Each structure stands twice: as C-alpha cells, then as structure tokens.
Structure 1
Amino acid sequence: MKYSFVIFPLLLLLVSFKSNAQISTPGFIHYVYCPYSYSQADACAGWRQVTQGTSDYFNACATGTTVGVPNNLFGTQSSWNNAYMGLFTYVDMYEYREYIGTTIDALTKGKTYTMSIKVSLADYSKYATNGLGIFFSTYAVNEPLLSGPLAVTPQIDYSSYGVITDKTNWVTLTGTFVADSAYTNLVIGCFKNDANLTKSVVGGNTGDSYYYIGMIGVQDSAVEIKDTIAYPFPNAFTPNGDGHNDLFCLAGDPLTVYDDFSLSVFNRWGERVFWTNYSSAGWNGMYKNVPAAQGVYVYTAQITEHGKTTSLKGNVTLIR
C-alpha cells in the first residue's frame, strides 16, 4: 500500500545557495542491478567506467560478496547510505589508474562552482596518495586506456589536501573552479603520473593505493538572499522496501552542502534510535537491527548554513 504525506516546512530567513547542478545518484544509493563482483561501476545508476580500468561499485545489497558494505574485497568501511564507489590511484608494479564518470546538468559558463567529494583509503592499501581530482567536459569521456593517467588536466585538483591516509573515517575534499564552458560530464580519479604523485607507505596487504568514493556534490557558489528557506521533514514514512517513503530524512536537494548537520530520532521512552550527521542520510525504521515498532517518534535536528545554526524538533509517525 502507498501513502501520501504532507511535508510541513519550517520557514527561516537566511542566505541560500542557488542553481545546483544535478548529479545522477550523488550518494550512489540507486543501482541498475545489485553488484556481485568487482569491475561493475555501471551497476550504479548513472555512473560508468571511463577507461578499461576496473573501477568498482559497493552496496549493502551485495553483502557476502567481494563488493558488499561494510565488508568487501578491499577492507571494511561503513557508509551512511550503504553504498559507495572505489578506484585505484596507484599500483606499484606498473602505472595504472581507474576512473568513474557521470553526466550532470549543464554548468553555466563563467560561474564559480564548488565540488565536494567524500573519500576513505581502503584497508587493503599499502600506499596513500594525493592525486585525486575531477575533470569536467562537454562530452562523455571514453578512453581505451588500461594503464596510466588520462591525458587531461582536471579543473578540480585536491592535491592541496596532501596525502589522504585515513582508513577509518570519510574525509571531505572541497575545491572550486570557474566553468569556462557549459560542461555536462565529469570524471573522478587520479590524474597525476607516477613521477608527480606523492605517496606514503601506510601498511596494507598489497603495493597499491585504493580509495572509496562516498559522496559527490557540485554546487553553484553564487549566493542570493531569500526571504524564506524551508528545512522540510516528512510527518510520516513507511519503511516497507517498496521504494516509496522508505526513509525519514531531510527533504529537498540532496546536494546542498551545510556547514554542519545532525539528526536524531527518539522513541517514546527517550531512547535514541537513530543519529546521523549527513544531510543526505535517513532513518530506515530499524533499531538495533530489528524493525522499530509502528508509532510516533520525536526527532531533533541542528542545521548550520552560512554560519547560522537552526534547531528543529518535531514528530514523525512510522507506519507499517
């Protein structure tokens, strides 16, 4: 059974971003088919391999395989949305790279855009590198390369962050650039050759550097003053797996970048049954790996945007 719900927004006076460029599946949640092996980046809706390199898609639907979440061929990494991509940035036996690509809404020439990605070094990796970047183009890049970096210059270069060594947490990398064309595609990966790549030995099973990619966001950096902006949360949800209203989460544009965000949900006894600090994540109605009871729950949220923090509180009904 499907239900329709009214979302009651809270209206606030503040500065907001505008004209976000939409990315297909920015959090890699949606898939064309559940991956069952490596080299299946195209299993993620809207994403693909760019070269003959075998970039990967990981999803909790593939638990027990080499591409599950949190456990997989390259180590263990949890995710707020139970899905992420993965690619090699360095292999010590020969010069080898992997990339992922997707289509975006056309950027506006002359505008400044902010690009953020979340990354984590896989347990498997012996090396950590500094070579990640993003290349924007007006065409879908499709190179018959098996090894070596793409012969392009990325508009976003995250080298200033240094070598990313964290194997436990997700690290947010952010960069800006001015679009000199109406770009409609992007490619993520390592664009430096071995001679120009900074590497650090961090310990691991093989002589490689492999990164999980957990979230993508591209946003017009221009701001405008609006009289009101809404932080809408639904007043009910139905976590039955039918693809409709399955999550309790902040509605609106999933690419919006907040300075800080937190969402907690409590049951009638005051126990916190869910918490996240990712605005794109939501509660799936589970508590301690068991479906939570139908009923009314209390949620609290704190959202900081452009230095202004807003505290929210309300009720949500879980319907089964």
Structure 2
Amino acid sequence: MRAQGNVTEFILFGLSYDQNIQIFCFIFFLFCYISLLVGNLLILISICSSHLFHQPMYYFLSHLSTMDIYYTSSVTPKLIGDLLTERKTISYGYCMFQIFSVHFFGSIEVFILTAMAFDRYVAICKPLHYMVIMSRKKCNLLVLAAWAGGAAHSFPQLSMTLRLPFCGPNEIDHYFCDIFPLLKIACTDTYTTGLLVVTNSGIIVLVIFIILFVSYAIILWTLRTHSAEGRRKALSTCGSHFTVVVLFFIPAIFSYLRPPTTYTEDKVFALFYTIIAPLLNPIIYTLRNTEMKNAMRKVWCQMIWGKGNLNELH
C-alpha cells in the first residue's frame, strides 16, 4: 500500500528522547502488556469454563476481555519494540492498519461497556423482567450490534485517512498512528476532514459517556429502596463498571472532542485509553467481585490439581 504522494513510511517521535526514560518505559510497558494478557486470559478462561458464562454480565465481560487483548495488541507491541530502537519508523500500510484496528476494537469496547451498563440497569431497575429482557439471544444481538457499531465507526475513519496526501514531512509526534497527528502533516486543507473526525469520534464518545452517566445515576436513585446488603452488592458491581468507564472515556473525550490539532499531553492521555485502562480492567473486575474470584479459584484449582483433589479440598 502506497500513500497519495511520495511518503511510504512515517517516523514516530515516541514517548521520549531520553535513553534512560526509554529503558524504564520499555520495562514498565512490557510488564503492563504481559500483565494485561495474563489477566484478561485468566478472566476469559475462567468465565468460559464456569457457570458464569451463562450470566449476561459475565458474558459481556468475556467479550470485553477479548477486545482488551485485541485493542491493546494493535498498539503496545509496536510501542515496546520502538523503545529499543533509535529510529522509530512505521510503514504506510501498517500505519493505516493501526488506525483501523485501534478505532475498530476501541469502539467495540465502548459499545460493550454500554451493553454492560444496560445489563446492570435492567438487573437493578427491572429485576422481575431481567431474564426476559437479557436473554441469551438478546445478548448475542447486543454483541453483534457492538461489532457493527465498531465497523460503522472505523471504516469511515480509515476511508478519510486513505484520502489524505502525504508529500512532505513524515514525522508523527506520537507513539502510534492516529488521525489528528496525520492531519497535521497532510499536504492538503484538512479542516473538513478534522470536523468529520471530531464528529465521528469525539461527539460519539461524549454522547455515549453521558448515556452511561445517566444510566448509573438512575441505578443509584433506584438503589434507595433496596436493602443494605442489596445496595452494597449493587454498588460494588456498578462501581467497578463506572471506574472502567471513567478511565477509558475521560482521556478519549479530551483527545477527540476538540479542534483537530495535537498537544504534548495527547501521548499521556492516549496511554490511559490504550494501555492503562485495559490493564486495570482485570484487576477492577476481579478484586471487587466475590463471584468472579470464587469462579476463578474453582476453575484454576480444578485445572491444576484435578477434580478429585479439588473435591478432597472441599
């Protein structure tokens, strides 16, 4: 794949020019990436191997863990590898692939978080109709809608980027390919494209965040009539969800809901929604969830020690 113009590769500025900082970041992000893979795989295997898979909340969580792996893997391995090299380059084709995959898997994750919020709303506000509303067929439709939403968001982003001509500078002040840094070096007027990107990314993220915020406000209002134990359990679950939402959405809103330009802080905020939030998801969803911890303990003890030894332990 060749760019419109004479640019066939881009040079990434990365996170820092300081060699010591780069070595520290290499060790830190390698640890983060391995932890993310292990944590999400533990959750995924534990849910799929236990009765939790048949519960809508954990069914969505298994898909969220899968998206975390795909989404972060589209950025982090390249970042880690670049921290060991002096000249950080990325081919035009891989740059376009990175833009597509980041927006595709990232938007699917956003829609799955929305489905999880809807699940908690139904469970707490309409408990008598929960099994009817959140049947497996409807859960599958919500996941399918998340994938369709991801495609509807990412293909226009890719299409707009592919039309950009690059004929001069090829240096991107970022650690991965994203649209705003590319708009800055394109050899054409990018005002209209920038507005379309803000509409397709920033406004959508903001609207979904407002919807999620309102849904959790309704849940909190409904919890007034519940018992103390019911409130504690619901608040623990919803608190986990909302923590994930805030860590992901606030940096994303800052990055995309603004005039199409680049700032030094962009790389720091991008770290939150590309690495930090996906890394914390397994921790947040397991440490504050007794049911999840029990399922993981049972599944992994059975795998390691065998069913017979597990029965003896009980």
Shared fold, TM over 0.5: no
The normalised TM-score by structure 1 is 0.22
The normalised TM-score by structure 2 is 0.22
Larger Rg: 2
